[in-house]
Amino acid sequence: MTETAPPAEWPILEDSTQLQRMLDVIAREGSLDPSKVTPAATLETLGLASMEVVTILTGIEEELDVYIPMDAELSSAGNLAELVSSIAHAIASSPHRAEAVVGP
C-alpha cells in the first residue's frame, strides 16, 4: 500500500477571505514569519508544539467565530494545506457558519 503525499497547495474555500484570515492567525499565534506559512510546511518543520497548535486553533475560532472540534481529520493533518482544509471542513459543518462566512 502506497501512501499519498499531502497536498502542496492551499484548498479553495467558499469564502476567499477565510484562507488569508486563517494564515494570518497561524503566523501570528505561532510566532512565525508569514513567508514560512506555506501549504507544504508541517507543524514539525515550523517547530510548532501541540500547545502552540491549540493556541492557533483558538485564534482561528475567535477570528472566524466558529467552534473547531479536535477530531481525527484535524489531528492527522500532514501539512498546513491539510490542516487548513480540515479547519474549513469544520467551519462548513459549524452552526455558526453564517457568521464565519460574513466575518467582521
Residues 6+ apart with CB under 8 A from 69: 90
The answer to whether the beta carbons of residues 59 and 23 sit under 8 Å apart is no
**Tens digit of each residue's pLDDT (9 = 90 or more) over 10-33:** 998 888 899 999 999 999 999 999
Domains of the chain: 16-102 (1.10.1200.10)
Residue 36: alpha-carbon gap to chain centroid: 14
Cell readout for 91 is 467551519
pTM given for the model: 0.81
Distance in angstroms (rounded) separating the CA atoms of residues 65 and 77: 22
Top pLDDT among 3 and 63 is at 63
